[in-house]
Structure 1
Amino acid sequence: MTATGIGSMPGGDVLASEDDNAREYAEAVRVVLGELPDFAHLPELPGRGAGASMTGRALALVTELGVDLQPAGWRLTGSGSGIDHRRARSLLGRDLDVFEEHAQGLAGPVKVQVCGPWTLAATVEKPRGDKVLADHGARRELAEALALGVADHVADMRRRVPGATEIVVQVDEPALPAVLAAQVPTASGFGKHRAIHPPEASGALETVLSAVTGAGATPVVHCCAGEVPVDLIRGAGARGVAVDLAALRASAYDGVAAALEAGERVLLGVVPTLDPATSLTDKAVADKALRFLDMLGLEPVPGLVLTPGCGLAGASPAWARRALELVASASKHLR
């Protein structure tokens, strides 16, 4: 039983210099490694701009498709990649260099995060506009290109952090429930994209999760929505799920319990992502997790991992550090 972060951290500014952003990223790495030595994660600083966003980080791994940044957001191109795509790749490479430098001697699991195929399809546009989600062939190609990129990313992390006992890949799918429920707006904003049926949704997820497994890493799917389709996620090959306890609805409880009983990881978000109005103690955080387990009829199990509810990009630096400290200390209470 341990603790980790979801991914994003405060810091960075799209208008700041490259050196200033580099210093902020190095500080985020030091905070993560200092507070979460038993289960570190590669931090993300989306405040630095589109290339550092969840979408931009995932597209930085995609080399099989041309991508560029337009005023409306990221878009596939019919030709090669634009300068913003190349910048996103360069930024990720520099971040990995910083993490590698500070993670020397690290022993234990290490987690990286990547935007999943359905959230990517719901945010990236086709060359002529509208979301990739609207085109069956385009969304299949994007999932396949992402799978190749993620496999290479795992190999790169294993080379950079040779002491890591396990590479965990957290596939972020905040838009998955909306994709399944036909709640993703069209480009005009006046309509919704058609619902993606569960078999196809599972198939695209399986493409990416199988690539993670094939590369020797452990795939976990993160969804901070209320209606988390845990059974679909596990059926697609995930070895764990990451959820926000404050948002999670009772309909997903059985799926979470089944994952824990099967010995899979459940990353349970138990600490607010924004600075709370009142102070929290590690014992209160541990009690919150225990009450949830009691509701499921379970005892604390090794697969339980405490986390903040979601990413910490909107938090103050002081709260981000405190949030990681709280989940780490609370996990020790549960042991």
Structure 2
Amino acid sequence: MLLEQTFCYNISIMQTTVNILPKSQVEIKVVIPSQSIALKYEAVYQKLALSVNIPGFRPGKAPRNLIEANLGEEKIYQQVFDDLLFESYREAIKEHDLHPITYPQFKIEKFAKGKDLEVATTVSLRPKAKVGDYQKIKVKKKEPLVTAADVKKVRDDTFENWKKTKTGQQKTSQIEVAKTLSEAENKALQDKKLTFDEFMREVGVKDEEGLLQQIKIELEKQAQTKSELDFENAILDELVKMTAIDLPDVLIEHELVSMMKGLETQLVPLKIKLQDYLKEKNETEEKLKEKWKPVAEKRVKLEFALAEVTALEKIEVTEPEIEAVVHSVADQKIRAELEKPEQKVYIKYSLQREKTLEKLKKLASGN
């Protein structure tokens, strides 16, 4: 009966140092003792030996020199390094309480057979935002104002657009009947006067007063929405100004990619391909990303600033609140999609962001 051998080694006896780099990066220096390497080599050898078939011997039972010659020492050490690098990396980030957001980049700095292994690992960390005294942000909300002149302008513009639309429809219909109409009849059709009364009947109002009232209500809604949005943006601008954060390039690049995908999505209904759009604008993705970079940096900075305020204010979202969002959706297919764990994580994030913004608005308005 073949007994499995277990080789124990203690990766925790390695030496680690952490060097802080710009843009929320760190370099982790690790020294792995030669005895740990020897034990790992033996464990890897025993595992790989079972896959070697040498005539006249059972798997793993051939003389060691034959098995090592078959496997190749380089292959064994490659597996040893792969295992040790990740194991040492996991131990190091645990020991130093690091929170990486990128895949580690390993560099073997020094190694000789029978000697210690020295490795340098570079990784980007989740940046920490330092927010100023956000409770002192004060912004005055502008009261929405709709004047009689605003209402009348919309009335006149809407009427003119309606007339153009109707005239365009008449021209279209004339294509079919032009051959049967005399020149005088054709001109009469073009010159037909479209009255304001016809316009009001078509939009479904009894008189001009009713139309003006309808326009005023809609303009007031739009003005209220704009006032609220301007108020929020002013608060967030102040929050960004008082936030210090060292952003990794990878986060900015991720936001730029997201912005590019957003542009591509906007072009779909217009049936325009991204490359055609860029060609028309005499742009490239790289040039456009460079122009967008300040906006991308601001967006990422804002997300971390809001997350810090959320943590400082201890803003929480309960499971019932998440479920309320899910069950507010009538469509069963969409609701089933929202029931997925990853969707609930996004719902939680959205609700937390909403609550945080409401908190900032109350503070800014002095409530």
The TM-score, its normalising length taken from structure 1, stands at: 0.19
Higher Cα radius of gyration = 2
Structure number with higher strand proportion:
1
Higher helix proportion: 2
